[in-house]
């Protein structure tokens, strides 16, 4: 089991990735969808790890949805980049 402090640090890192991706999406002249979706997917995974220690159902539902959306976006961006 992950200690609570480590869990909090992991969750804060995930939150920082979300914030960074949001800032990037708002200041970039051209959005790199691979980067944007990768940051969001990694952020969601980190927050889910944190939530496995400090469980909150509403937050888990949000992070699962966020991660699925980011994964779909990442797959689409990867397919588009390989064309």
pTM here is: 0.95
Half-sphere exposure of 22 (CA within 13 A, CB side): 7
Of 18-22, 37-41, 69-73, 79-83, the range with the lowest mean pLDDT is: 79-83
Please give the average per-residue pLDDT across 8-33, as a whole number. Answer: 98
pLDDT at 40 over 90: yes
pLDDT at 1 over 90: no
Please give the average per-residue pLDDT across 57-76, as a whole number. Answer: 98
Residue 43: CB atoms within 10 Å: 25
Structure tokens at 45: 């995974």
CA angle 40, 14, 27 (to 5 degrees): 50
């Amino acid at each position: 089991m992950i200690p609570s402090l480590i869990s909090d640090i992991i969750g804060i890192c995930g939150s920082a990735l979300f914030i960074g991706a949001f800032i990037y999406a708002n200041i970039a002249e051209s959005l790199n969808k691979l980067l944007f979706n990768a940051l969001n997917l990694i952020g969601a995974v980190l927050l889910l790890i944190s939530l496995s220690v400090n469980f909150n159902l509403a937050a888990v539902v949000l992070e699962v949805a966020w991660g699925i959306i980011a994964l779909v976006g990442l797959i689409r961006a990867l397919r588009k980049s390989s064309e």
